Structure 1
Amino acid sequence: MGDKVMFTAVADRGGYYGPFTSDRTLVFNTAITNIGGNYDATSGIFTAPAQGYYFFTFSYHASKQHKTGLNLIKNHDLIVRAFNDKIGASTIIDNAGNAATLQLEAGDKVFVQLPAECHVYAADSVTTFSGFLIKGA
């Protein structure tokens, strides 16, 4: 494995994405940077190439027409999330994000999940997912 692993991808689906009746992996389909090639822009999943310490961050933009939110998932486990369930609040726009540092094993999967009943704006490069290797183990 090379010592450089980093990516930034945006969800560019042409407008609002969701809400749906079940949780879905949000595919950030446009990779701006993908050094190492470990982020898959067709599935939305980052696969750790080797054991090490990694940093991930995500952010979203949405309206208050529906609940908003995203979850960061490692394999099948919720790590952190960002959300707002106040529909029709005094402001009409919602922006949020979160970040985590994770110890990963080779083959671990990290992705962003759109929870059921939530939506985000997936256009104009405002909903993003990034990660990089801090230090190999």
Structure 2
Amino acid sequence: MEDPSILIFILILLFVAAVWGFLIYAIVKSHHRSLDIEKGKHPLYTSTSGGIIGWIRYKGPFINLRIYDEFIVISCTKIILFKYGEIDGVEIKKWMGLVPDSVRLVHHKSDAPGRIILGTTNPIRVKEIIDSRLHP
């Protein structure tokens, strides 16, 4: 008979892998939730990537950005709805100071984290869309 400590180690390893798998699945699935206000509307822009929400850094495709005509939805572990009146501006962040790869949403919404930086494939387009609705 084999050493039981190896069997216990394998069971613990499988348990830890299952817990991590469930957590990753739950986080990825949570960013696909939509709000009632989104029903019947088509986003002008969508992006799924990493970023920083408050003090949490999300690596990989855990943040979903959806930009609509009247509002913006950011979803990760929770859903944040921004009306354009709550947004002060958008800043383009550059990777290593060279390549634009993310946007920083500057806002005054009291129930949203102060620091919101979202990775996106087209930060210039995101800024253009939001700026055009901030300053019509």
Question: The TM-score by the shorter chain falls in which range?
Answer: under 0.3
Higher helix share: 2
Which structure's relative contact order is higher, taking Cα pairs within 8 Å and 6+ residues apart? Answer: 1
Higher strand share: 1
Q: TM-score, normalised by structure 1?
A: 0.21
Q: TM-score, normalised by structure 2?
A: 0.21
Larger Rg: 2
